Amino acid sequence: MKNLLKYTVVIFTLLTFTGFSFSQNEEIEVSGVLIENQTKQPLPYATIVLKDLDTVRVLGGTTTNDQGEFRLKTKENNFLVEISFMGYTTQVISDFKIENSAIELGTIELISESQSLDEVVVRGEVSKTVFKLDKRVFNVGKDLSSTGMSALEVLDNVPSVSVNIDGEISLRGGAGVQILINGKPSVLADGSGNSLGTITADMIESIEVITNASAKYEASGTAGILNIILKKEEKKGWNGSVSANTGYPSSHSVGLSLNRRTEKFNLFTQLGGGYRSSPRFSETRNDNLITGESISSEGTSYRNEAFMNVTLGTDYHINDYNVLTLSGNFAYEMEDQPSETIYKLMDGNDNLISNWSRNEVTEAINPKWQYDLNYRKQFKNNKDHTLQISGLGSFFGKDQSSQFSSRTLEGLEENRDQKTATDFNKVDYTFKADYFNPITKEFTLEVGSQYEINNVGNDFQVEDYVNGSYVIDENQTNNFEYDQKVLGVYTTAAYEKEKWGVKGGLRVENTDLSTLLVNTEESNNRNFTDFFPSLHTSYKVSDKVSFQAGYSRRIYRPRLWDLNPFFNITNNFNIRAGNPNLQAEYTNSLEVTSIYRIGKASLSSSLYFQNTDDVIERVSTIEDNVVFVRPYNVGQRNRVGFETNAKYIPTKWLTLMADFNMNYFDRTGVFENQDFDFTGSQWTLGITPKIKLPYDFDLEFSGKYKSDVETVQGESSGYATLDLGLRKKILKGKIMLSLSVRDVFESRIQENYILQETFENYSFGQRGRQVSFGISYGFGKGEAMSYTGKRR
């Protein structure tokens, strides 16, 4: 730990409020609700200050709660109200009426600093990130370079989040990430391959980044939680928008969003469909240091998908205090995955033994559906006093067949023809109940429970071409059944004063997990109960400086794709498989964050520490020149890191944003008599300039650098990449034209080295440049999909 801590530098700037003064007049209560101008979402933890109208002396202050509400009292009667929040223009209110010793300011909309620079038309440069007590909210609408992209590409532009070219998501460098849709598990985000592919950027309102979750959230995800919030308009009358995107390599999609709001009902729907082709160049080399033989491969594979997505739902306002929501989602994918790979087998003297090609033809259909019933009750004594009950069911199926054929080019004859067939079904149910009670203005209590059921069946068959016919390979053919039930209950309590607050909680979860390989009757059953405490606190020094601190304990339960032992034999010399005996990993997480503004700049910095036991690592082994990659529990990891996010608006036409993350880790563990003790580090840097051009053009560059990192068996290379986006607004934002180029210099790569005593392995992957053009149009009372600003 000494080696880790000596690298860590933390600088916090402290400012203080001026003193308060009081008069002997009758006490007046000032109240209101603060929301964000574009998204209409509440702004919690904003600063409300009362100042003397003549001397500008501070008379009192408070902060808004989770719902953006504030309430404070004063005995003065000659004052103004100043409202401020990091990244937003300070608003001053001096024109109000005092009635019955109360001033009701109503709903107040706060505008981002860059948005307010235009004095004629308020056009949306909303702040990308809004900070809350235990999470950050990333506004997707301003991400120009995500035009026409899927949710995976959008996530890759979120600060602290990385997505590699295989779709694996990490948060602050950690892979144990829990993905939620609208706060709940979803069939659209189950972590299987391109499951997020049917969600496009146009459908996403925001993404919540939760690096240190409170006990309210389920404990899954040692690295943290990413909650994707989908758009749902609630403006009265008819509202809607339509969008179309096209790009290269082939990437075409259309989307329609409709909403009808009346006094009793809010009807909403989203329709989307399209086709995309994702080429991927791959290169591998296996060196057997015992025999001297080596096998290399090189080729391009394609993932071609036609997809559609339909969401239907309604909010029924039974009365002023009860709302019932029913929604459903259906998605359908048709996959076609052709590929050709050239192999070379060399002996110890670097002489060619054999040279052959392997072609793949894979077809699959993936139906997905989900339904959600939600009831919310608001109690009459306080609108924050609520009870919410929900039930969710989902299904994901895959019917896939693959044909692999070989053709000898030189040397010894190679006959490696194979066929595979997959019949996959996954059914999930989630039941939740949450109760929130503001017992007093300062003290709130929350309790709840969640019961989740996951059932999976995966019937997998491999056939080898032998003596003129296909024969089932019994060693690779089986039916894998996976059954998991998780019951969780939690309670949290919060105490908040004007300048500081504290929130503590405890979550208890029982996990009942069983796996079975039907053909070979291999079973593995586990039942365990865990406790997950959390503690968060915040202190607001002034309207420009505040601090947050939090602790939580998390769990990463091995998911289906970690446990499933079936091989991916696309490259039958570099095979990935799961491990049915994998155990859960646990993480204790602690972080401290400062948030402050300096002139035209805003900055947040976090120092964090994570201790993880039974770390899940992907370990490579070699058998007959074939490298197998399987996950195993290997020892312990301590990680300390520093992260900072900054925003600077030097002029009305330029906005600069940057995020930087560096972490150092201490790795200890032993696997099959091999010592995995080592220390390492990794850092990432992202810089995004936004430029306002004449004639309502916006230009955005998004650059990212990721450094090399040492792994348990070798190292992974870093890379630098650049995305850009250009947008043109027409008819005050009703029509939006967008152009994006992702990976301009084709430098986003995945390169890994495995360096062991008996073998070495090299792998390289690259997807290449993507160009997309989009147009969207908002009608009724709506705006274009990527435009959510209010017009004067």
Phi, psi of 784 (to 5 degrees): -60, 150
More confident residue, 263 or 645: 645
**Quick check: 192 pLDDT over 50?**
no
Helix (H) or strand (E) holding 596: strand 585-598
Banded model confidence at residue 531, pLDDT cuts 50, 70, 90: very high
* pLDDT reported for residue 336: 93
15-19 own/partner pairs: CB under 8 Å, 24+ apart? 15/541, 15/542, 15/544, 15/545, 15/596, 16/541, 16/542, 17/58, 17/61, 17/499, 17/541, 17/542, 18/57, 18/58, 19/58
What is the percent of the chain where pLDDT is above 70?
83
Which segment of 36-45, 130-139, 448-457, 627-636 scores lowest on mean pLDDT?
Answer: 130-139
**Structure token digits, residue 244:** 């179309």
Backbone CA torsion sign across 283, 289, 291, 292: positive
**Structure token digits, residue 375:** 């009831």
* Residue 11 CB-density burial (10 A; 0-12 exposed, 13-18 middle, 19+ buried): exposed
Mean pLDDT of 725-747: 85
Q: Given 3.60.150.10, 1.10.287.110, 1.10.645.10, 2.40.170.20, which CATH number is that of 270-759?
A: 2.40.170.20
Phi, psi of 562 (to 5 degrees): -80, -30
pLDDT tens for each residue of 535-593: 999 888 887 788 889 999 999 888 877 888 876 678 888 888 888 889 999 999 999 98
* pLDDT reported for residue 141: 55
* pLDDT reported for residue 718: 94
* pLDDT reported for residue 733: 63
* Domain topology for 11-111: Immunoglobulin-like (2.60.40)
| Pair type for strands 759-766 and 749-755 | antiparallel
CA distance 91 to 229: 28
Banded model confidence at residue 11, pLDDT cuts 50, 70, 90: very low
pLDDT tens for each residue of 314-358: 888 888 889 998 989 899 999 999 999 999 999 999 999 999 999
Mean pLDDT of 620-625: 88
* pLDDT reported for residue 640: 96
Residues of the chain with CATH 2.60.40.10: 11-111
Most confident of 174-188, 236-250, 757-771: 757-771
What is the percent of the chain where pLDDT is above 90?
40
* pLDDT reported for residue 190: 57
**Quick check: 186 pLDDT over 60?**
yes
Most confident of 84-98, 259-273, 597-611: 597-611
pLDDT tens for each residue of 197-221: 556 666 677 788 887 788 888 888 7
Peptide bond into 438 cis (omega under 30): no
**Structure token digits, residue 612:** 């993880």
* pLDDT reported for residue 238: 65
Q: Are 688 and 701 spatial neighbours (Cβ–Cβ below 8 Å)?
A: yes
Mean pLDDT score of the chain, rounded to an integer?
A: 82
* pLDDT reported for residue 179: 81
Most confident of 40-44, 167-171, 354-358: 354-358
Q: Note if the pTM is more than 0.75.
A: no
Residues of the chain with CATH 2.40.170.20: 270-759
Give the chain's length: 792
Pick from 661, 656, 724: which is nearest to 690 by CA?
Answer: 656
Q: What single string gives the DSSP state of each residue in 731-771? A: TTTTEEEEEEEESTTS--EEEEEEE-SSEEEEEEEE---EE
Which segment of 24-38, 64-78, 351-365 scores lowest on mean pLDDT?
Answer: 24-38
Which segment of 435-439, 541-545, 667-671 scores lowest on mean pLDDT?
Answer: 541-545
Q: What angle do CA 372, 393, 367 make, to 5 degrees?
A: 105
pLDDT tens for each residue of 480-525: 999 999 999 999 999 988 788 899 999 999 999 999 989 888 898 9
* pLDDT reported for residue 229: 80
Pick from 528, 486, 527, 530: which is nearest to 507 by CA?
Answer: 530
CA distance 285 to 289: 12
* pLDDT reported for residue 235: 46
Banded model confidence at residue 4, pLDDT cuts 50, 70, 90: very low
Banded model confidence at residue 676, pLDDT cuts 50, 70, 90: confident
CA distance 408 to 344: 10
**Quick check: 63 pLDDT over 60?**
yes
**How far out from the chain centre does Cα 673 lie?**
37
CA distance 590 to 534: 10
* pLDDT reported for residue 121: 29
DSSP lists the bridge partners of residue 537 as 502, 549
Which segment of 146-150, 303-307, 451-455, 757-761 scores lowest on mean pLDDT?
Answer: 146-150
**Quick check: 614 pLDDT over 90?**
yes
| 3-class secondary structure per residue, 297-324 | EEEEEEEEEEEEEEEEEEEEEEECCEEE
**Quick check: 785 pLDDT over 70?**
no
Number of C-alpha atoms within 13 angstroms, CB side, residue 625? 19
* pLDDT reported for residue 25: 52
DSSP 8-class letter at 200: B
* pLDDT reported for residue 790: 25
More confident residue, 145 or 638: 638
pLDDT tens for each residue of 277-301: 989 999 999 999 999 999 999 999 9
More confident residue, 22 or 486: 486
